[in-house]
Amino acid sequence: MGKTLELGRRIELCSMDQHCENISLGLYRREKGDLQQVSVHSYAVGENINGRIEFVTNALAQLAGMVPDVDDLHWLQFECSGFHVRALKRCFLDVCKLEQGRPLPVKPLSVQDKKAGCLVSVVQHGSGVYEVTSAASDDRAIKRCEALAKGFAKVCEMQVDENKKNQIAFTCGCNHDDLMGMLMFRAQNVRAAMREEEMSATRGVLAAPSQQK
């Protein structure tokens, strides 16, 4: 007899995990008191499935800066007690692209940006406030910093400072350096990230075998 799982609502789907038999992996969301938590799950059956779920869960925790629930390590939450859903969904899809067994990439807050023509950095000012700066000070670099800030605003659902357009902030008022580093590339290529997000939303719904027709 099948066991009913209390997984909450699925908020994202990796329809084909190329690193594990092309299985589907879902990211599920539940409420625990005032907290919003997520868990990675697959209805696929196989000897490698549990290991893959554990890898994706651990990678998501490390790269997105999340912590496990004290009562159930399969459920993750942000330390700020907030819920950055768009950023989290993007991180989940990127983590699912990682090959199991390899070291998890450490994402810096500084990258060489071709459009700016110089090094671009994200500087943390505390209380969830970040500023995009560049090694150059010409108009090209300044405009690129403002564009990158807008990219972060879209990818991470952050607020842009209208008086300082290269400055963004998390509404929770907490710092998320890991999340910013993980999504730096996506903020640089925000149009491609949005297109991939739209394509992901049109894919099939992950359901238990008993619910499939």
Alpha-carbon gap, residue 187 to 207, rounded angstroms: 31
- At residue 1, the pLDDT reads 36
**pLDDT confidence bin for 52, thresholds 50/70/90:** very high
Average pLDDT, stretch 191-207?
A: 59
3-state secondary structure (DSSP) of residue 196: helix
Structure-model confidence comparison of residues 103 and 202, the more confident one: 103
Query: Among residues 97, 169, 167, which one has the least CA distance to residue 132?
Result: 167
pLDDT in tens, 70-121: 999 999 999 999 999 999 999 999 999 999 988 888 899 999 999 999 999 9
pLDDT at position 206, please?
Answer: 43
Share of the chain above pLDDT 70, in %: 87
Residue 191's pLDDT is what?
A: 72
Residue 194 has a pLDDT of 59
Tell whether the model's pLDDT for residue 27 goes beyond 80.
Answer: yes
The closest of 206, 207, 11, 204 to 90, measured between CA atoms, is 11
Return the domain boundaries, the chain: 9-105, 110-196
Q: Between 213 and 26, whose confidence is greater? A: 26
Q: How many CB atoms lie within 10 A of CB 30?
A: 15
Q: CATH for 110-196?
A: 3.30.1360
Task: Please name the residues in contact with 149: beta carbons below 8 A apart, sequence gap of 6 or more.
Answer: 132, 160, 165, 166, 167, 168
Average pLDDT, the chain: 90
- Mean of the pLDDT values across residues 17-43? 96
Amino acid at 208: A
As given in the structure block, the two tokens for residue 15 are: 């329809």
Mean predicted confidence (pLDDT) in 40-44: 96
Look at residue 207 and tell me whether its pLDDT is greater than 90: no
